[in-house]
Structure 1
């Protein structure tokens, strides 16, 4: 993918081992665990498709850390207008949240979504963050980039009404909670359509 993009690309991080999930009693990788009959990762992919944004899925990286995965994903789509870093274990994230983070990158270098004062994902980075992101490695992710941009006054803390941005799957309990939330969301959506 070497064409220029006028919108940011969603980088879905799916290279982790999911060890905490298995340690909690999970029988398969957390991204393959079903919620309402679909694997966790498929729910994330569906949300990105519904948002209209392009995506790149990182299934392997040069190292085991989040920094390695982010660096690999960003380097794979270097001509994007920016990148939304989205862990593959957030099956309830809403397409509108992805669009809102993408739009906010028009005026800010970094966009940090929040739900009820909890930092969530996707974290958005504008094109001028490419060198720093593509050079990431190790376990720390992009926190140093965020801190540097915050000192420069280039970070937006974007409040969203979407529990899905903070509802990651790290244990079988998280999976059960996400399944219950998904069922409630489907029920309220069906009521809203009547």
Structure 2
């Protein structure tokens, strides 16, 4: 079941929190629960991600219907929020992403079709996509996510690479070792 918050009065991009994945790599690495339910400082990974989204003040939509691939999840979430002026695609397994980063990617969409955060040369999430990407996003299927949409827009010079100092944009939790690293980074932050 999808949950959402559309309280914002100003037309802002919607953060699409993707929580449909199977988490197979986490289980294969020794995880006893789904990675989004794994505890990070006493709170599930997904709750950390949602807390940052809520703190950003942006409207959001949680897509957790169990789709077969990231492309399918993005397409479903975009269809559910088709009237949005854009979207920030945020996998639910990025518990350290900062609210300020979400706001800065949303702001970057004002003058481009796609905004991608880059942390020390590494591309991260959330990837911002403007409304002009609607049809391409609705047509996504499979495991690849929105990479094809980003490539298409890059070929047309419509991608903005946004340098960020937020390590949370590239710190996903795919394995038990990733969870341990996230816990260390979170402790350093405090």
Check whether TM > 0.5: yes
Written as runs of structure 1 = structure 2, the 5 A alignment for 1:119-138 is 119-138=123-142
In the alignment, which residue of structure 1 is the partner of 2:50? 45
In the alignment, which residue of structure 2 is the partner of 1:114? 118
The SS at the match of 2:160 is strand
Distance 2:58 2:158 in 1: 23
Distance 1:5 1:150 in 2: 28
Distance 1:139 1:50 in 2: 29
Distance 1:121 1:185 in 2: 19
* Aligned pairs, number: 184
RMSD over aligned Cα atoms: 1.3
| Aligned structure 1 segments of 4 or more residues deviating by more than 3 angstroms | none
Written as runs of structure 1 = structure 2, the 5 A alignment for 1:61-140 is 61=66, 63-140=67-144
In the alignment, which residue of structure 2 is the partner of 1:190? none
2:20 matched to 1:6?
Answer: no
The SS at the match of 2:110 is coil
Distance 1:25 1:100 in 2: 36
* TM-score for the superposition, normalised by structure 2: 0.94
The SS at the match of 1:57 is strand
1:148-190 residue CA offsets vs partner (Å, 9 max, x unmatched): 111111000111001000000011100011011111111xxxx
Shift of 1:136: 0.7
Candidates 133, 145, 151, aligned match of 2:149 = 145
In the alignment, which residue of structure 2 is the partner of 1:16? 21
Shift of 1:135: 1.2
Distance 2:146 2:182 in 1: 26
Distance 2:158 2:21 in 1: 30
